[in-house]
Structure 1
């Protein structure tokens, strides 16, 4: 019976960890998307060149 509860506890910890990591990934992706949108706006206004836009976009996507 003790082994059963230990397995349940481990499974719950694994699920909790995966859920937390999933949320962090989603937040990071949302932040990167906003940053890329800002880069697009700066490119459209002529504040940065196409080369600089590509360089910064690649850095954000890595």
Structure 2
């Protein structure tokens, strides 16, 4: 999975968190928090597990 291919067309209006995540991923930084939907959280976890992001900022949602 690459970062550019990680975002799909949304069925509803994207949240501001989506735009923050999209911006930070460009720089190899992943965000994981309650404001993200399950799909975005899973994507960030997968990118980190596959060494596609270098910095992973998270709350207890990852626990």
Q: Which has the higher helix share?
A: 1
TM-score (norm 1): 0.32
Quick check: which has more Rg, 1 or 2?
A: 1
